[in-house]
Structure 1
Amino acid sequence: MPQIPSRRGLLFGGAAVGATALLASCTSNEPKNSKPAVSDRPAADDKPGKPVTIGFAGPQADHGWLNAINENAKSRAEKYSDVTLEITEGSNDTAAQIGQIETLINKKVDVLVILPADGKALTQVGLKAMRAGIPVVNLDRIFNSPQAYRCWIGGDNYGMGFNAGQYIGEKLKGKQNAKVVELAGLDNLELTKQRTQGFDDALKNYPNITKVARQAAEFTVESGQSKMAQLLQAQKHIDALWNHDDDQGVGALRAIEQAGRDEFLMVGGAGALSAFEQIKQDKGVLKATVLYPPTMAASAIDLARALGQGKGVSGMAEFEIPASITLFSAVVDKTNVDQYMPTGFR
């Protein structure tokens, strides 16, 4: 799962150089050969211009969100007749990914889009590219130095947690002594800490609500099921659950069904198609999910093309693209799920 910078970037929920405003999900509950949904909105400013070769390097697509990242990048590049995409074979081995990026540098691509397997470990190769005169669009997991990229674009993990907490707070604001629990992701990831911090900060605005328990899972179905079972066994009554990831949420829902519990509402995280479908049906505990959009990869391609052609961001007065763009974590519930349904992927 992606990591987020500690400093908050420019909040830019719209499109960068016509980048998609559609948001999509972050997990996969279907076989890996299922093609994830990608933005079908036309790329803005698509009048052919100066040819641009974009090098794209990301980690191994061993998770639905990362697979969707790759598909969004490829799909966006195909919309431009003036863009050639040089895409590497994804790798979670930092040395291998560094080697792939160095190959792209040696090929003298015009712009690089990099989603590093490890932002800290790949900072030096980002600096190398920038010093070679190749602007870098740093996608989601951030490098340690702002000198290693021209523009960062990514999701808002703190915002995910905050929006989830606010949604739950509004739903429970008339209930005295309300109890909520949290099913987090991997605790060794900074993104998990930020999601929890956002959630806790939002709940401070609702003194009638107490978070009575938290369990960290592993972003997998199996861990979601086992950790949720533990939460339910320890808490005989709860009013709400926030689950960080819809993939582990599949397991959590299994544990909830097995326990025969339905006295609470559940908010997920990411926006998997299966979550959208359950929210639309409105027959179970899952009432909403907070998005983390892999369409950011399409936006990264737009930004890279703009950098290669010396353009700014459509709709903004400045001649240059921003240094940092943070996408908005929208809450999807039954009132707007139809709008987001096409953006879900399997």
Structure 2
Amino acid sequence: MSASLPLTTKRIAFAAITLSAALVAAGCTSNEPATTPAASTQQPAGNAGSSNDAPGKKVVIGFSGPAADHGWLAAINNSALEEAKKHSDVELKAAEGTNDASLQISQIETFINDKVDAIVLLPTDGAALTEVATKAMQAGIPVINVDREFSSPFAARSTILGDNYGMGVSAGTYACQVVKEKNLTNPVIAEIAGIDALPLTQDRSKGFADALKACNQTVDNRVAAEFTVESGEKQASNLLQAAPKIDVLWNHDDDQGVGVMAALDQANRHEMAFIGGAGSANAMRWIQEGKMAATVIYPPTQAADGIKLARLIAQNKGLSDLVQVEVPKRIVLNAPVVTKDNVEQYLPLGFES
């Protein structure tokens, strides 16, 4: 969701060597719409044990991520730090989180000068960090690109991403399920997006609209917030005034969803199936309480997976469950739907908004 900064269930992509995230720590998907979109129902699985987990050559990994000014971003940074601690053969050099591209470039320059064995980088802006990432690669330091893609394929050894289009597909497919199960005729479907200028928001909305086509539905009311609690509450209030009845509501981001829920509570409007996005612990508790129908995961584990990949690459190892001997070039994680039926399994992965 990478929500506060400019920049993003489940199939194997053909052209990009996208893998099942069970191989890394989650699922996978491509950005190609299926003929009939289907929401992911995969359950989270424990990491498969292998000889790769045994301590190997000591490696130094540099990590640079964004400022933790959003629940999901804080979870991204924390998951990377916690993953590094699990490996006695990893020394992590973590730069201070920043939203300043120039500062982040200088952090990567420092890693290059320090001759680290690998770099895990969630860039403030993929295009702005492409040149320095390419410089690291040319210096023989593999770069793992997390979440926001560089503008050149030469800037990263491996890229790990969430699936924004897949989030929309999962949300839309679940909405169709609600329509069918409740036997709704002429349902009112509403959407609270994130920042409309961002490609990730556009991808999520497109996936949602494409999936709704499978049950001959469209979005009737739509507003855009800014991935913040305040904007979520404001835009949800505007939406509720414009739509006296809503059957299904999808909110793109669980952090701004705190504000959306506040607006729903204030207006005493809980007639709709409320679907969230990202997978916060707050949203999952609401699902347990019956105040929310579902949320769609946008994995906050991406940087942690980046640490695991960096370790393997620096130690000249591949993924143990693959025949291919090298770590893949590109991995896209899946976007499963969390409901009352599986919330207990996903709650430990939730982040606090």
- The TM-score normalised by the length of structure 1 is 0.89
Other-structure match for 2:33: none
Partner of residue 273 from structure 2, selected from 258, 265, 269: 265
Other-structure match for 2:282: 274
SS of the equivalent of 2:148 reads coil
Contact 1:22 1:295 in 2 (8 A): no
Other-structure match for 1:92: 99
Superimposed CA distance per residue, residues 245-286 of structure 1 (whole angstroms, 9 cap, x where no aligned partner):
11111111111122222221110001111111110121x2x1
Partner of residue 228 from structure 1, selected from 222, 233, 236: 236
Distance 1:65 1:321 in 2: 26
Partner of residue 133 from structure 1, selected from 131, 136, 140: 140
Q: What's the C-alpha RMSD, in Å, of the aligned pairs? A: 2.0
1:165 Cα shift?
A: 0.3
Corresponding position: 1:321 with 2:324: no
Distance 2:101 2:326 in 1: 31
Distance 1:43 1:308 in 2: 19
Distance 1:252 1:58 in 2: 28
Distance 1:226 1:43, change over 3 A: farther
Partner of residue 143 from structure 1, selected from 125, 143, 150: 150
1:1-346 correspondence to structure 2 within 5 Å: 1-2=1-2, 3-4=7-8, 9-16=16-23, 19-21=24-26, 45-173=52-180, 174-207=183-216, 209-282=217-290, 284=291, 286-346=292-352
Runs of 5+ in structure 2 lacking a partner?
9-13, 29-44
Distance 1:307 1:260 in 2: 53
Distance 1:263 1:48 in 2: 53
- Number of equivalenced pairs: 324
Distance 1:334 1:103 in 2: 47
Other-structure match for 1:32: none
The AA in structure 2 aligned to 1:307 is I
Superimposed CA distance per residue, residues 94-133 of structure 1 (whole angstroms, 9 cap, x where no aligned partner):
1110001000001000111110000011100011011111
Distance 1:22 1:193, change over 3 A: closer
Contact 1:11 1:328 in 2 (8 A): no
Superimposed CA distance per residue, residues 157-211 of structure 1 (whole angstroms, 9 cap, x where no aligned partner):
000011000001111023221110100001121101100010000011111x331
Contact 1:221 1:251 in 2 (8 A): yes
Distance 1:69 1:305 in 2: 17
Distance 1:281 1:10 in 2: 40
Distance 1:300 1:8 in 2: 21
More off after superposition, 101-110 vs 229-238: 229-238
Contact 1:58 1:115 in 2 (8 A): yes
Contact 1:43 1:76 in 2 (8 A): no
1:81 Cα shift?
A: 1.1
SS of the equivalent of 1:120 reads helix
Distance 2:272 2:186 in 1: 14
The AA in structure 2 aligned to 1:90 is G
**Identity score, percent:** 51
Contact 1:187 1:216 in 2 (8 A): yes
Distance 2:59 2:205 in 1: 40
Superimposed CA distance per residue, residues 128-173 of structure 1 (whole angstroms, 9 cap, x where no aligned partner):
0111111110011110011100100010000001100000111102
The AA in structure 1 aligned to 2:313 is L
Runs of 5+ in structure 1 lacking a partner?
24-38
Distance 1:41 1:277 in 2: 25
Contact 1:101 1:125 in 2 (8 A): yes
Superimposed CA distance per residue, residues 45-104 of structure 1 (whole angstroms, 9 cap, x where no aligned partner):
221111111111112121111111111111111111111111111111111100010000
SS of the equivalent of 2:262 reads helix
Distance 1:321 1:140 in 2: 17
Contact 2:143 2:157 in 1 (8 A): yes
- The TM-score normalised by the length of structure 2 is 0.88
Other-structure match for 2:35: none
